[in-house]
Amino acid sequence: MKKIVIAGAFAGLGLLVACQPAAQRAEAPKAEKKKLSAEEKFKIALFKNQDKWQKACSNPTQLVPEGIDIDTFKKEMLATVKYPEGGVMGDWKKGEKLFGDPRKQGKSLRGNCYACHCGDPTVIACGNIGPSLRGYAKRGKDPKETYIRIYNSWAQNPCSVMPRLGYHGVLKPQEIADIVAFLHDPSSPINK
Ligand code: HEC
C-alpha cells in the first residue's frame, strides 16, 4: 500500500514538472545529484548489470527473420523438450556445480551460465548478455517454464543467443532439473 502511495506521489510530481512552462523549468534549481560511494557504484554495476540498451540488444524477438511464423517455430521447438522422470525440480547442490562456478577454474563449467548471467552474488565474474538471475526464486516463475528455457530456449524465445543446452545434448534432463532447483530453491545461494 505504502509503495502505491509513494509511486502516486512521484507520478504527480512528474506531471507537475511536465506542465511547467519551459522557461520556468530552466530556472528551477537543479536537484542536487547524490554522490555515490565506490561501494554503491560497485553494487549498481553488479545488481543492475543489464542496462536498457543491453536488454534491447539481447532481445531475441528482433532476431527472428522476416516471414517466419513464430508460433510454429515455438511449437516445433517445444515438441523437442524431454523431461526427467522425477520432475523438473532436482537437487540444487548438483545444479550449482552444473551452473558453473568460474572459481572452480573450468572444472564445473558445463552449463557455463556465468558467461552470460550473474547468479550467486558472491560470484562477481559474470556476464550481462542475459539478465541477472540473482534472487530468481522471488520472481514467481513456474519451474517448468524455467526448465523449458534451459532445455531449449527457442521454445520460448526463437533465435535467442542462449544456447539450447538440452536440445543439443550438452545437459541431460536430470541435470537441467538440478539447475532449475538451483534457481528456484529458496535455500540456494542464488536466492541469498
Ligand atoms: C550465450 C549467452 C547465454 C548463456 C551461456 C546462457 N544464457 Fe540464459 N539467457 C541469455 C539471454 C540473452 C537471455 C534473455 C533472452 C531470452 O530470454 O532468451 C537469457 C534468458 C535466461 C532465462 C530467463 C530469464 C528471465 O528473466 O526470464 C533463464 C532462466 C536463463 N537464461 C537461464 C540460463 C541458465 C541456467 C544457463 C546455463 C545453463 C544460461 N541461461 C546460459 C543468454 C545466455
Whether the CB-CB separation of 130 and 117 falls below 8 Å is answered with yes
Supply the pTM of this predicted model. Answer: 0.77
Q: Label each residue of 79-96 as H, E or C.
A: CCCCCCCCCCCCCHHHHH
Residue 20 lies in a domain: no
* Best of 62, 108, 120, 153 for a ligand 1 pocket test (most atoms within 8 Å of beta carbon): 153
- Check if 189 has its Cβ closer than 6 Å to any atom of ligand 1: no
Domain span holding position 162: 51-191
On whether residue 45 sits in a domain, the answer given is no
Residue 145: inside a domain, yes or no?
yes
In-domain check, residue 118: yes
- Total domain count, the chain: 1
Residue 41 lies in a domain: no
CA 146 to each of CA 15, 98, 121, 135, 139: distance values in angstroms, whole numbers, following the listed order? 39, 15, 20, 14, 11
Q: With respect to residue 44, please indicate whether it lies within any of the assigned structural domains.
A: no
- Residue 115 belongs to domain with CATH number: 1.10.760.10
- Structure confidence by residue, pLDDT tens digits, 10-64: 444 444 334 444 444 444 455 556 788 776 766 665 556 677 777 777 776 667 8
When the pLDDT of each residue in the chain is averaged and rounded to a whole number, the result is 80
Cβ(168)–Cβ(80) below 8 Å? no
What is the number of the ligand 1 atom nearest to the C-alpha of 110? 38
Asked if the structure places residue 17 within a domain, the reply is no
